[in-house]
Amino acid sequence: MKRIEETSFILSGAVKEVREMLPSRITAIYLSNNRVLNVKTENFNLKVNCENQNPLLYLSENLFEKTKHNFNDALSAYAKGMRITDIEQIGNDRIVKLTLTKELFIVIELIPNRFNILLVENDVIKNLYSYKKNKDGELILKPGVKYSPKTREKGFMESLSAKERESAEEMHFQEEDIKNVKEYFLLTDDKRFYILFCENKNLQTLDSSKSPSHLIEKAFAFSIQEARDKNEASKSHSIENKISNLKKKIDALKDEDSLSAEAEDLREMAETLKANIYRADKEKEFASVFNEKKILKFNIPKGVSLSEYLKILFEEYKKTKNLSSQNAEIKKTLQKEIIKLEERLTTESEEERKKEIRDEETTGRVFTTPNGFKVLSGRSAQENDELTVRIAKKDDIFFHAREAKGSHVILRTAGGTPLKEDILFAASIAAYYSAGKHSKLVSVSYIEKRFVVKRRNSPKGEVVMLKEKTLFVKPLSGRESK
């Protein structure tokens, strides 16, 4: 999955968010099976992604389920029921200290390849969950050892990432401008997600928020959705890649005509040298035995006798002639394989289409737009989930009445481009099948399905739009086409 760039700037923003809600008593603290530290308190929920390559701390509406883990008992015994009285980012590094009492702390080192959760009492490590090991595979930090954080001795501006420095230079931001930022931006390129203090002309802006935690959650959800979409397309894409590679192999083979011509040239050279072998030690040019008007030149390598060279020519002739036959057989074999794969690809496409038709026939209401595009509308939370999460393709368009309960409406694009009247038709259906159906005009949000994600453990029918467009439409029931 696409990573979120983790920086000390993002961490400082999340720390500020948490600090505003302190003090707060811990009611549950545990690791879930996806390596996330979940901290439930009276005032907020906190998640710490413990994945070694993408460690992040952020506030969250929903926590993951508790799982069996050796460290959970230690966490619960140490911190459950305690109040978090303060949170501090140590230096300009990605190290956070949660203060429970004057003597008790939870220290989290959010550094790739150096991730640690440390339970500290009177500056001594009581227990830990750690990735940090030496060359022999032994933990570097151990219980009973005095904890002294090794921070990078860098100023604030020096601690910024390359993308953060680039953005600061572009916008002429100074240290105080960045520290006092009121809005954060979620951006992306082909490789990563970035949460910055301003937009960047070299990156695509996905969203903005006053909360960095909100954007981190969106980035995770977006990354999961991208992985699902990629997996959906992987079967057909894999077959298409195999076909493409086989065609490249065929193109790389020399064609039969050129090989046959090359073989005949070698035979002509060999037969001509054979006929003139008695004077080839003195002369280097002879008329071809096949065409007297054609003069052949012979450049015999030094140290190679005439008889050896003649043998080489005949062997090259036989090899080239055989290669022509072999290539013809190889081409036939590859072409047969391509035909099988193309048939398989057709079958996959037909099965996928049949499945789409079955899904459309059994899930939700079905309508047809003025230009022949299908529109699907969920009749329940269960159907809404089915339509949006399982049935809709990434290029389909999702509609939902803005800030109102209602049906998930999907405009199937099928590779085409719906016109304005198709968009308005689908939006009016979303307006009609919503809590606002009796209003004269209803605000409807819409966006390509690739920007709609479902958070793990969220209720049925609940999704998040990472981007959205809005329009006001009159609610219309449409006319079902089934």
Q: Catalogue all structural domains in the chain, each as residue range(s) with its CATH number.
A: 1-232 (2.30.310.10), 256-341 (no CATH), 365-473 (no CATH)
Rounded distance, CA 13 to CA 445, Å? 29
Half-sphere exposure (Cβ direction) of 208: Cα atoms closer than 13 Å: 12
Rounded distance, CA 446 to CA 407, Å? 13
Beta-carbon contacts of residue 233 (< 8 Å; ≥ 6 apart): none
Structure confidence at residue 229 (pLDDT): 67
Beta strands 192-196 and 3-4: pairing type? Answer: parallel
Find, among 390, 406, 371, the residue nearest to 452 by Cα. 390
Report residue 35 as tokens. 């390596």
Report residue 339 as tokens. 């035909």
Helix (H, G, I), strand (E, B) or coil at 397: strand
Rounded to 10°, the helix 8-19/212-252 angle is: 150
Sign of CA dihedral 299, 301, 302, 304: negative
Rounded distance, CA 233 to CA 230, Å? 5
Structure confidence at residue 414 (pLDDT): 87
Half-sphere exposure (Cβ direction) of 90: Cα atoms closer than 13 Å: 18
Structure confidence at residue 481 (pLDDT): 45
Rounded distance, CA 285 to CA 296, Å? 6
Q: By the 8 A CB rule, do 16 and 89 touch?
A: no
Written as one string, the DSSP assignment of 198-252 is S--TTSEEEEEES-HHHHHHHHHHHHHHHHHHHHHHHHHHHHHHHHHHHHHHHHH
Rounded distance, CA 53 to CA 36, Å? 13
Structure confidence at residue 66 (pLDDT): 83
Q: By the 8 A CB rule, do 97 and 88 touch?
A: yes
**DSSP 8-state symbol, 301:** P
Rounded distance, CA 287 to CA 191, Å? 65
Structure confidence at residue 52 (pLDDT): 67
Report residue 136 as tokens. 């022999």
Rounded to 10°, the helix 306-362/212-252 angle is: 140
Helix (H, G, I), strand (E, B) or coil at 127: strand
Rounded distance, CA 407 to CA 363, Å? 12
Rounded distance, CA 387 to CA 377, Å? 8
Q: Find how far residue 221's CA is from the centre of its chain.
A: 11
Q: By the 8 A CB rule, do 341 and 246 touch?
A: yes
Give whole-number Cα distances, 137 to 35, 77, 109, 130, in Å: 20, 28, 19, 12
46 pairs with which residues across the strands? 39, 59
Give whole-number Cα distances, 214 to 186, 307, 323, 392, 416, in Å: 10, 83, 64, 25, 34
Rounded distance, CA 131 to CA 206, Å? 33
Half-sphere exposure (Cβ direction) of 447: Cα atoms closer than 13 Å: 16
207 pairs with which residues across the strands? 186
Report residue 409 as tokens. 């409406």
Q: Is 249 left (phi over 0), alpha (psi -120 to 50) or beta?
A: alpha
Helix (H, G, I), strand (E, B) or coil at 318: helix
Written as one string, the DSSP assignment of 324-362 is HHHHHHHHHHHHHHHHHHHHHHHHHHHHHHHHHHHHHHH
Structure confidence at residue 89 (pLDDT): 92
pLDDT in tens, the chain (482 residues): 788 888 899 999 999 999 999 999 999 999 887 788 999 999 999 999 887 677 899 999 888 888 887 788 888 899 999 999 999 998 888 899 999 998 999 999 887 777 788 899 999 999 888 766 666 666 677 888 898 877 666 788 888 999 999 999 999 999 999 999 999 999 998 888 999 999 988 888 888 899 999 999 888 888 877 776 666 666 677 888 888 888 898 888 888 888 889 999 999 999 999 999 888 888 889 999 999 899 999 988 888 888 999 999 999 999 988 888 888 888 889 999 999 988 888 887 777 777 666 666 667 889 999 999 999 999 998 899 889 888 888 899 999 999 889 999 999 998 899 999 999 999 999 999 999 999 999 999 999 998 888 876 678 888 888 889 999 999 998 665 44
Give 38: exposed, middle or buried? Use CB within 10 Å, 0-12, 13-18, 19+.
Answer: buried
Written as one string, the DSSP assignment of 153-191 is ---TTTTS-HHHHHHHHHHT--HHHHHT---EEEEE-SS
Beta strands 95-99 and 86-89: pairing type? Answer: antiparallel
